[in-house]
Amino acid sequence: MHGAGATAATRAGNNQEATRRVLIYASREESAAVLDQLRAAGCEIAVGSRAWQTPAGADEDAFFEAARDIDVLMGTSIRSTPITRRIIEASPRLRIIAKYTVGVDDVDIDAATEHGILVCHAPTEANCFSVAETTMAMMLAILKRVRERDAAVREGGWRRPEHGAVYLGRRLSDGHEGITVGIVGLGRIGTRFADLLAPWRVRIIAYDPYAEPSRFLLAGVERVDLDTLLRQSDVVSMHCVLTRETRYMISTPQLALMKPDAILLNSARGKIVDEKALAEALAAGRIRAAALDALEVEPLPSDSPLLAVGDKVLLSPHAAAFSGDGQLRPGIEWAARSVLSALMGEVPDNVYNKAVIPRWTERFAPAGRNDRPAADGVR
C-alpha cells in the first residue's frame, strides 16, 4: 500500500459521488478492521510514502500532490513533513485531520481553524502511561546514579563516595522531608506521573493554568505558579503540549530559578526546552542534570551542545511511548471513529481546535450523510 507518493488502495461502492477520499499520510499499525470500516463507509484509501516520516523527509511537494481533493487526513506524528497551510489548502473538500497521537504540533492549527477544518487528537492512556513510566525510569536513573555505578563496576572500580544516591521519600525516623517533584502540565501523563510518585512519599507540586482546581486535588498535588515550582523543586518534569505559549518556556531565566542540584526531565516535546540554554546551565553547574526523551531536532545533530556535557544529560530517542505491543492501536481506532463521525456530519468527541466547531457545523453538518460540500467550499 506504500508508494513514492500516495497510491489508491481500495474504491468502495458504485456511487462515485458518495466516495470519500482518505489519505493516511503517516501510516502506523492500522488494523484490517479499521481499514474495512473506512471502506464500508464508502472511503477510498490512499497511503503516504514512508519516506515522509523519516527525520530527513521534508517531502512537502509530494504530500501536497497526494492531498489534492481529499476529504480526510489521518495518521501518526509527521514532524519532518508537517501538515502545513499549503497542504491544508490542497483540497477544498478537506473536513478533518485525525491524529493517532495526543500531540498536534505538526499541524498548522491556525490554518485548519481558519478554513473550517477539525483537528482531532488521541490522548489515550495506552501511550500516556508508558510515557509516565519512562519519565519515572529516567528520574530514578539519575537520582540513583544507575549509569555511574554500572560504569564503575565495568571499569573494575567499586563503591565510591560519588556513587551515593538521593533518597527520595520522607522518613519519619530522622525527620527527613524527602524531595519535591514539580510537574509542569497536569494532563493525563502528568497525572499518571503523580500517581506513580505517590507511594514514594515525595512532595508533589504542579503548574497548569488550564487545569481545573479539582484535578490538583484528585491527583494529590499542590497547585503553584511556575516560578514557585522552579524554585522549590528538586525534580522538574515537563508534561505539556507544544504551543506558542510553551515553546521554549524553559530557557535561561527559568533555569536560573532552579536549585543547583535540581534535575530537569522532558518527555513531552523538544522545543519546550531551550537546549542551548540547558547545555550552558549544565556545563556551568547551575543545575545538576537533565534527562530528555524529546529533542529540538531529531535525531540529535552531531554538533548539539548537549553532547558536550557528558553524563550530565541522559538522552532517549523520543521513545517514551514505545511499548512494543501496538501502543498506538487505541489512538488509531479513535481516529477512525472521528473520521466516520465527521463524514456523517457529526462532531467527534476529541476535537482539539474546538473554536472551529460552529463554522465546521455550518459547512458540513447540513450536508448529511450522502452529500459533500461543493468543490469551491467555504474558504
Same domain, 186 and 140: yes
Please report which confidence band the pLDDT of residue 54 belongs to, taking 50, 70 and 90 as the band edges: confident
Q: What is the DSSP string of 94-140?
A: --EEEESSS--TTB-HHHHHHTT-EEE----HHHHHHHHHHHHHHHH
pLDDT band at residue 37 using 50, 70 and 90 as cut-offs? very high
Q: Average the pLDDT over 160-185 and give the result.
A: 86
Residues 6+ apart with CB under 8 A from 51: 4, 57, 59
- Calculate mean pLDDT across residues 160-180: 83
Asked if residue 109 belongs to a domain, the reply is no
Does one domain contain both 304 and 338? Answer: no
And the C-alpha cell for 75? 495518521
- What are the pLDDT digits (tens) for 281-323? 999 999 999 999 999 998 899 999 999 999 999 999 988 887 7
In the listed set 292, 315, 338, which residue is the last one of a domain according to the structure? 315
Within a domain: residue 189?
Answer: yes
pLDDT computed for residue 18 by the predictor? 65
Domain that includes residue 29, residue range? 6-100+328-367
379 within some domain = no
Q: What span, in angstroms and rounded, lies between the C-alpha atoms of 82 and 94?
A: 16
Residue 10 has pLDDT above 50, yes or no: no
Identify whether the C-beta of residue 169 lies closer than 8 Å to the C-beta of residue 138: no
Are both 198 and 335 inside the same structural domain?
A: no
Instruction: Please report the pLDDT score of residue 2 as a whole number.
Output: 41
Percentage of residues in the chain having pLDDT higher than 70: 89
Which of 233, 172, 173 is closest to 203 using CA atoms?
233
Whether residue 61 is contained in a domain is answered as yes
CA separation for the pair 244, 206 (Å, rounded): 20
Are 228 and 79 in the same domain?
A: no
The verdict on 238 and 214 lying in the same domain is yes
Catalytic residue chosen out of the listed positions 29, 177, 298, 362: 298
Q: Are residues 206 and 297 in the same domain?
A: yes
3-state secondary structure of 145: coil
What would the grid cell of residue 39 be? 471502506
Residues 299 and 332 in one domain: no
| Known active-site residue 318 | yes
* Residue 123, pLDDT score: 84
Q: From the CA atom positions of the chain, what is the Rg in Å?
A: 23
Same structural domain for residues 311 and 334? no
Give the separation between CA 120 and CA 138, rounded to whole angstroms.
30
> Phi-psi category of 211—alpha, beta or left, where left has phi over 0 and alpha has psi -120 to 50?
beta
- Count the domains in the chain: 2
Catalytic one among 20, 21, 93, 318?
Answer: 318
Examine residue 114 and state whether it is found in any structural domain, yes or no.
Answer: no
Strand partners for 117: none
Whether 178 is in a domain gets the answer yes
Q: Greater confidence, 244 or 91?
A: 91
User: Are 25 and 48 in the same domain?
Assistant: yes
DSSP string, 180-247: EEEEE--SHHHHHHHHHHGGGT-EEEEE-TTS-HHHHHHHT-EE--HHHHHHH-SEEEE-----TTTT
Mean pLDDT of the chain: 88
Distance CA 307, CA 294 (A): 15
Q: Which strand ranges, in their side-by-side order, compose the sheet holding 20-26? A: 6-10, 43-48, 20-26, 72-75, 96-99, 118-120
Run of H or E residues at 334:
helix 329-343
Query: Annotated catalytic, 115?
Result: no
* Cα gap 233→156, rounded to integer Å: 35
- The domain that holds 220 is classified in CATH as 3.40.50.720
- Is 269 among the residues known to form the active site? yes
- In terms of Cβ atoms closer than 10 Å to its own Cβ (0-12, 13-18, 19+), residue 150 is exposed
Predicted TM-score (pTM) above 0.85 = no
Task: Give CA–CA dist 202/186, Å, rounded.
Answer: 17
Within a domain: 37: yes
**Does 134 share its domain with 56?**
no
Within-domain flag for 323: no
| CA atoms of 160 and 150, how far apart (whole Å) | 12
- How far from each other are the two terminal CA atoms of the chain, in whole angstroms? 32
Same domain for 342 and 286: no
What is the C-alpha separation between 237 and 264, in angstroms, rounded? 6
Of 115, 188, 239, 269, the catalytic one is 269
DSSP letter string, 245-303: TTTT-BSHHHHHHS-TT-EEEE-S-GGGB-HHHHHHHHHTTSS-EEEESS-SSSSPPTT
Distance (Å, whole) CA 70 – CA 244: 29
- How confident is the model over 70-106, as pLDDT tens digits? 999 999 988 889 999 999 999 999 999 999 988 899 9
- Together in a domain, 137 and 282: yes
